Amino acid sequence: MENEAGALSRVAGLFSARGYNIESLTVAPTEDPSMSRMTLVTRGSEEIIEQITKQLNKLIDVIKLQDLTEGTHIEREMLLIKVRAMNSGREEVMRLTDIFRGSIIDVTEQSFTIEITGASEKLDAFIEALDKDLIIETVRSGVTGIARGEKSLRV
């Protein structure tokens, strides 16, 4: 999309006005600073997805749109999670973080902050694997995605 003030609210407004649901949305400028790339995750029947696609294309600020699920693609999401980690618990959390190929990026006497990137299901699984009582805070980036292979979204 055009990297314009208001472009994001046009997308968000479209979804709320037409009763579509946004599961997650990420957006940031691209290597060409006049453009932003947004990855939006939504759900619906084939007809609804078709309408969403057409309605988004109609927005003047949308330059190009691709339904990543039409081809093979890669989805990634990042999770930052702060957990209580004391005494023997620390070992356990470190081991789990290793298994999920995460990294501990901040440490205090009482806690770890862990970063994990991957498909959303992997992040879900990590959270599942932790003892609920240990979790202090979580934040997820929302999904970003890209097509596999040569296929690309370019203007």
Partner 1 sequence: MELTGAEILVRFLKDEGVRHVFGYPGGAVLHIYDALYKQDKVEHILVRHEQGATHAADGYARATGKPGVALVTSGPGATNAVTGIATAYMDSVPMVVITGQVPTNLIGNDAFQEVDSVGITRPCVKHNFLVKRVEDLAITLKRAFYIATTGRPGPVVVDVPKDVTAAKTNYVYPRKVEIRSYKPVTKGHIGQIKRAVKLMLSAERPMIYTGGGVVLGGGSKLLTEMTRLLGFPITNTLMGLGAYPGTDKQFLGMLGMHGTYEANMAMHHCDVLIAIGARFDDRVTGNIEKFCSKAKIIHVDIDPSSISKNVRVDIPIVGTVEQVLQDMLRILKEKKREPNKAALKSWWKQIEEWRRTECLKYEPSDEVIKPQYVLESLYKVTRGNAYVTSDVGQHQMWAAQFYKFSKPYRWINSGGLGTMGFGLPAAMGAQIAHPRSTVACVTGEGSIQMCIQELATCLQYGLPIKIITLNNRFLGMVRQWQEFFYEGRYAMSYMESLPDFVKLAESYGHVGMRIEDPADVTPALKEAMGMKKRLVFMDFVTDQTENVYPMIPAGAGLNEMILV
Residues that bind partner 1 (CB under 8 A): 1-2, 5-6, 9-10, 13, 17, 47, 50-51, 54-55, 57-58, 60-64, 155
Query: Whose Cβ is closer to partner 1: residue 63's or residue 94's?
Result: 63
> Which residue lies nearer to partner 1 by CB, 29 or 72?
29
> Least separation, in Å, of the C-beta of 24 and partner 1?
22
* Least Cβ distance, residue 71 to partner 1 (angstroms): 21
Cβ count within 10 A of residue 33 = 8
d(CA 31, CA 87) in angstroms, rounded, equals: 45
101 phi, psi to nearest 5 deg: 55, 40
- Ranges of beta strands (E only) in 11-70 are 24-29, 36-41
Minimum gap (Å) between residue 68 Cβ and partner 1 = 19
Q: How far is the CB of 150 from partner 1 (least distance, A)?
A: 23
Q: Does residue 118 contact residue 76 with C-beta atoms inside 8 Å?
A: yes
Nearer to partner 1, 17 or 139 (CB): 17
Q: Which residue lies nearer to partner 1 by CB, 22 or 134?
A: 22
Question: CB neighbours (10 Å) of residue 67?
Answer: 11
CB 21 to partner 1: min, Å: 17
Q: Name which of 56 and 93 has its Cβ closer to partner 1.
A: 56
Residues 6 or more apart whose CB falls under 8 angstroms from that of 88 comprise none
Q: What is the Cα Rg of the chain in Å?
A: 19
